[in-house]
Chains A and B, each alone.
Chain A
């Protein structure tokens, strides 16, 4: 996949916390990652490696101790309506109805809209996630899957430039999770949404993502590899596991999570965090196709860099 339009870029971000005794604990250091417009990126890694911190920094809810995040050629400063977040716990406002929750987002984005306009826009996205008829229910009356649908509708309703999802389906049962994955995949493809998602679930990542970023264990976590998903874009849940490359990808990721994620930093001495290796499992041995960012020039906002993959 050619990198044509670098939309989001993590540029050397780090997060450190003060540790007892005056020292500092570093969750991760010098993280570099670029995402293209319309691309679905999944980050996979063990708990505590700092995935959620990366997402929160992207959302603007957290600030990096070092480095910057560039979105659409601008360094981000705090949260923005351009980047919608789907939280792990659905985090709906429990005193508002389904309609109220979505309308709250809509009216936050378009402050001059009248009630009818807000209602129409909200209804459109409630319909999109298949909650027609449940508009006047409160979150406590909804199942876990329905709540997460409302979260998705709320995030999509403000028509963001980017969606950030923090393990959105981890609290759901397997059946509901499958249905919602289908929905999210359909919606992202229809709307061409740029998506950054955190997950623990390897199959979910393979089904949804264009690129899967593997993160090593923290503290001191790094982005070890970017796995380019070799499966066709129009993959379907029903036969995805029969694709000849499916198990190659899956095994590669699981090998990483089980073994290499712990020891990666120690056994990879010449690792360059600015040039995270891109691999396409299944084609012979995992081949290092190219570095994700090949341009060594200092990054500047407003500068579109081209790199060849």
Chain B
């Protein structure tokens, strides 16, 4: 029996998922030790103490809650109780704004660095120092100068998206094949036209790779940033649900963060395929 590889892989994936869910279910079935107590007191103690239920939610609890979220993603019952769709939308919007600002800054500067050996050497020490700084280390400075927590989160996304795109753009531009540049030179193509018709298409795969790294980092950082700035966003939602001790919601949020991150990565992967050329 030979089935195609994708089908066999899918079967294994489903089997792994099923095993995991079963293990999770069995592990959170309950402890079984139930203490005898006064009913009034039992009400205060919750199900863990009275029925021996596990403190960790099982897959069925999480699934039920997830269904609730999916049915009603955009409800708004005040500052501390918004639908998970609204929270995700806030996060995605912040990432999009910060990320696009970073694109607008990083790609031109990357072009400059890639095309000019002078600027490459001159800017290198700054990039080397700024690049390893944890984006969250900028947060206090951003809060102090911008004086707006939402904009500060966007700034943090901007700063963390900047470096991979800038470095990849510079690398892609600097390593455009000499023969392609010579083609443009022998055709007397001007600098600007050369940048758009030779360097940009030649460097595009490398640039998009940098953009893909950046969007991944931006999505990692937004959760942490929103935990700090609070108010809205999926990061805030996670922290708020932790304070509510709703582990079910925390697990749901973790799952959704993963799915959105995957979707963002796939968008850039598709863009990468569109600009990649076979040689």
Contacts and interface: CB of A to CB of B under 8 A. Distances in A.
B200 to A, nearest CB: 10
A138 B277 CA distance: 9
Contacts of B278: 94, 138, 140
Contacts of B187: 79, 81, 104-105, 108-109, 158
Interface in A80-114: 80-81, 83-85, 87, 89, 91, 93-95, 104-105, 108-109
A91 B187 CA distance: 13
A249 interface: no
Interface centre among B179, B183, B198, B277 (most CB of A within 10 A): B183
Interface in B146-185: 177, 179-180, 182-183, 185
B277 A104 contact: no
A209 to B, nearest CB: 22
Nearest to A155: B186
A85 B182 contact: yes
Contacts of B188: 79-81, 108
A93 B185 contact: no
B279 interface: yes
Contacts of A158: 187
B198 to A, nearest CB: 7
Contact of B186 (A61, A93, A94, A95): A61
Nearest to B201: A95
Nearest to B184: A108
Contacts of A83: 186
A59 interface: yes
Given A140-B277, A140-B278, A108 B189 contact: yes
Nearest to B189: A108
A94 B198 CA distance: 10
Chain B interface category by residue count: 10 to 19
A60 B177 CA distance: 18
Contacts of B277: 94-95, 138, 140
B116 interface: no
Interface in B263-279: 277-279
Contacts of B183: 87, 91, 93
Contacts of B19: none
A235 B198 CA distance: 41
Interface in A265-283: none
A81 B187 CA distance: 5
B186 A89 contact: no
A178 B179 CA distance: 25
Contacts of B201: 93, 95
B134 interface: no
A59 B198 contact: no
A81 to B, nearest CB: 5
B197 interface: yes
Nearest to A141: B278
B182 A87 contact: yes
Nearest to B279: A94
A91 B185 contact: no
Interface of B: 177, 179-180, 182-183, 185-189, 197-198, 201-202, 277-279
Given A60-B185, A93-B198, 10 more contacts: A81-B188, A84-B186, A85-B182, A85-B186, A94-B278, A95-B201, A95-B202, A104-B197, A109-B187, A138-B278
